[in-house]
Amino acid sequence: MRVAIVGASGAVGLEIIKILQERKFKISALSLFGSKRSAGKSIFYKRKPITIKQLKSSSLKDFDIVFFSAGANISKKYAPIAAANNCVVIDNSSAFRMEKKVALVIPEINSTHISKYKSKIIANPNCTTIISLMAIKPLYDIGSIRRIVATSFQSVSGAGNAGMTELISETKRFLSGTKKSKNKVFDRNIAFNVIPKIGLITKNGYSEEEMKLHNESRKILSDNRILISATTVRVPVLRSHSISINIEFEKKISLAKAQRALSKFPGIQNIKIDNPMSYPTPIDSSNKDDCLVGRLRTDYSTKNGLSLWVVGDQIRKGAALNAVQIAECLQEK
């Protein structure tokens, strides 16, 4: 396939290039695009340098697949142009996720939606949505879910390379006693702190990130009956997101049955409910494809509840890997 990557020099773009090589995705030609600032730089693919070209409206033609990882504004402007030129767009931004004609896909969960929707644009879900649903879907398959309460602990790399740079520089300043400078990425100091707000606050009091988990999950599962209440928190972790999830079912689900469902689900690892000291942390999932689940337990405060903990690398499964898996589904077809 002829492949292009828009936003190639960003954290997700670089990860897409890395994963395409690791998974030996069949490519006849690879083109890289970026901003005027990135144009002229080279990125190695299979030990050969590829020069990043400045993105223009005339750039996006004669490709089979175009990955977009440059933000919603760029996607809104250029993705329709690529689609009009008969390219299939796999978009990592929030630009098209909730459009009725656009498929929102996690391949392990709803790959059939790729052919169900007619649009040439396929949306990659929000990273927290992907990691959460990887743990929720196997349980959804064995019992009707009434309500979900989720709290995310999201790493700074969710805000890109700039987020990681800000955490590292703030930590150094804090430890050296240097006067704190103005934040460029986060609303508050992120070093040795947590920020219980990601994205703008909407009219209902929830943040945009929290509403993404609610709205996107319903679309992916094709189930508008599920009630989802989320709190999203930025934490001083470099890579990988963690989510604490409480699920209330219509009927009781035994721990053993839940464990079997999770252990059999593709892309999930580390299910050990018989060992209370076995639990995954963000470091355990960093640079790994699978999401890790632990702390599975019965919720004693409600009749039919389970609680669990899931961690996943939001740059890999939460973004780049999921996008490449979508491309693999297209290649199979």
Catalytic sites, residue numbers: 127, 241
Token digits of residue 3:
């492949």
In 3D, which of 24, 31, 109 has the Cα closest to residue 328? 24
Cα separation values, 295 from 65, 70, 142, Å = 39, 36, 19
Token digits of residue 281:
């942390």
The β-bridge relationship of strands 65-68 and 42-45 is: unpaired
Token digits of residue 267:
């892309």
In 3D, which of 311, 322, 268, 330 has the Cα closest to residue 153? 311
Collapsing DSSP to helix, strand or coil, 152 comes out as strand
Strand order in the sheet with 291-299: 227-234, 145-154, 241-249, 305-312, 291-299, 268-269
CB burial string 21-49: b at 16+ within 10 A, e below:
eeeebebeebbbbbeeebeeeebebeeee
User: What does the alpha-carbon distance between residue 108 and residue 321 come to, in Å, rounded to a whole number?
Assistant: 12
Collapsing DSSP to helix, strand or coil, 167 comes out as helix
Cα separation values, 223 from 103, 140, 149, 214, Å = 15, 11, 16, 11
Phi and psi (nearest 5°) for 298?
-75, 135
Which residues, including other chains, have CB under 8 Å from residue 71's CB and lie 6 or more apart?
7, 93
> Is residue 55 a contact partner of residue 78, using CB atoms and an 8 Å limit?
yes
> Is residue 227 a contact partner of residue 146, using CB atoms and an 8 Å limit?
yes
